[in-house]
Structure 1
Amino acid sequence: MPLYEHVFLARQDASAQQVEELTTQITGVIEGLGGKVTKTESWGLRSLTYRMNKNRKAHFVLLNIDGPAAVVSEIERQERINEDVIRYLTVRVDEHEEGPSAMMRKADRDRERDDRGPREGGFRGDREGRGDRDGFRGDRGPRRPREDADAPAAAVEE
């Protein structure tokens, strides 16, 4: 049987439990039509590149499917009907990827980066005060006092 990778995006308003139920429902349809789900990955709630149907975020789910083409057409039909599914994409592949997908490896790599601890300095945090400038203003030379600085003070005293 042909192999497919199927990714669908569920609305941000849906809870993780609702997304899990939706995944279970789709898996049931696949198995009911003679297919098999070899791997299920939930990539969690992620930001979208652009708004889709007034949503800025979505729950991403990957399913590796081993089944006939009728399975794919049926799950896509049901996802078009379902209001919780924003988008879906099914791609036929020659073989399924072993181990975690690229998105899960990226999440693990990002988690390892966070474990390194806080960074030193921060945004220009390593700079000392500006005492080394001594009033240097580039080509303009030193500042001269304003001539009209005393005028408003004299007018107030009268």
Structure 2
Amino acid sequence: MTHIPHPDSPAITVTCAVVTVSDTRSPETDKSGQLIQELLCNANHSVEAYTIVKDEPMQIHEQMELLGKHPSLDVLIFNGGTGIASRDTTYDTIENLLEKILPGFGELFRFLSYQEIGSRAIASRAVAGVYQQKLIFSLPGSSNAVRLAMEKLILPELVHLVGQLRK
């Protein structure tokens, strides 16, 4: 059961961008990116941009800067590259750009992951924060992890968090 401390503003549609960070996925094989888009649309939010970038710090950085300047976007959701393998550079790149970090997101995500997958949850470096007045989420590339983050954390709080940024 989810406890909502106070009601959110009704009828706010959040405009999002979805970025998959992967050296191997294509739009046809990007199940996690497709899932994020589907869940956002089912919750009556819009996906204005979708792309796949290689797990290269410069490409991730450039994508974040480009989308950060996009005036109609409220939220950027990245997936992939949050582990500890040598090619996993998403966390390092994004965390260095965030102007504010929402530590509770990563903490709660790892707690919920632990309940599903056990101690392997410690390897996740999921992070959220604010960049250029946009809400940023960086999730693992696993579809199960994406579904968990979207359904349990992101979608229940998206309208509230975007409302806070708009104040």
Asked whether the two chains share a fold, i.e. TM above 0.5, the reply is no
Of Structure 1 and Structure 2, which has the larger fraction of its residues in strand? 1
The alignment's TM-score, normalised by the length of structure 1, stands at 0.30
Q: Give me the TM-score of the superposition, normalised by structure 2.
A: 0.28
From the two aligned structures, give the one with the greater helix fraction.
Answer: 2
